[in-house]
Amino acid sequence: MEHKMAMGKFPIFSLEIPKNSTKYATVSDIVSKLKEDIDNNPMVGFIGVFDHYNHTKGINGQIPNEIKDIQNIVFCFGPQVPNVDIIAVRPRSIGVTELSNSFVLNFLEAPGAMPNQVMAQWIKELQD
């Protein structure tokens, strides 16, 4: 899993998984597996799935040709609300993007270590 700055200012974690290194065939398959992980964790509340690809196409937005599908699964870790500022960085989302030969999964770095570790583990478990 790579830790990097997206667009020069957003700290993200990202992993590209070759299609021949996972049993999952589609973005929807991966999102379904991540939903199971969310549902099995009592600290996490599922919110929804956002079809980013069809939304962007539907408003005549631009998507690079190499991207075949994009969905975000949205959820929230909720063990505490220590202050009002934390609300600005919630809820969490994992982006799942399909390219011709791989899937890219990424998420914005959370302010706490535990959510980052859990999300990274969920993603790593998608690899064969």
Give 9-31 pLDDT, tens digit per residue: 999 999 999 999 999 999 999 99
State whether CATH 3.30.310.70 applies to domain 7-124. Answer: yes
The pLDDT tens digits for 91-128 are 999 999 999 999 999 999 998 899 999 999 999 999 98
pTM, two decimals, is 0.95
Q: Which residues of 59-77 are buried (b: 16+ CB within 10 A; e: fewer)?
A: eeeeeeeeeebbbbbbbeb
**SS3 per residue for the chain:** CEEEEECCCEEEEEEEEEHHHCCCCCHHHHHHHHHHHHHCCCCEEEEEEECHHHHHHHCCCCCCCCCCEEEEEEEEECCCCCCHHHHHHCCEEEEEEECCCEEEEEEECCCCHHHHHHHHHHHHCCCC
Which among 99, 104, 40, 51 is positioned nearest to 73, based on CA atoms? 51
